[in-house]
Amino acid sequence: MNNVIIILVMLISTLGPAAVVAYVGYAAVRAVGRNPSAAPRILLAMIVAFIFAEAIAIVSVLMLSTLFK
């Protein structure tokens, strides 16, 4: 039973950042489609958002691993 709870909490903690990555990617593709000349600035903002979202996912997984030891 305890393993199921750990798996569910890890799933929820990584689902949020995954949704952020998907939404940011979708918004970046739409923005480049509207204004192709702004592609370098959009790409930079997209990469920074990806880095923050993945950092949140890594921190949450590390916190969960230390909590459930």
Q: What CATH number does the domain containing 62 carry?
A: 1.20.20
Amino acid 67: pLDDT: 79
Q: How many folded domains does the chain comprise?
A: 1
Q: Is the pTM value of this prediction over 0.95?
A: no
Amino acid 40: pLDDT: 93
Amino acid 36: pLDDT: 94
Amino acid 61: pLDDT: 83
Do 13 and 67 touch, CB atoms closer than 8 A?
Answer: no
User: How far apart, in whole angstroms, are the C-alpha atoms of residue 41 and residue 4?
Assistant: 43
The residue type found at 3 is N
pLDDT tens, residue order, the chain (69 aa): 777 887 888 888 888 888 988 999 999 999 999 999 999 999 999 999 999 988 988 888 888 888 777
Boundaries of domain holding 27: 2-67
Residue 33, class by beta-carbon neighbours within 10 Å (0-12 exposed, 13-18 middle, 19+ buried)? exposed
The residue type found at 61 is V
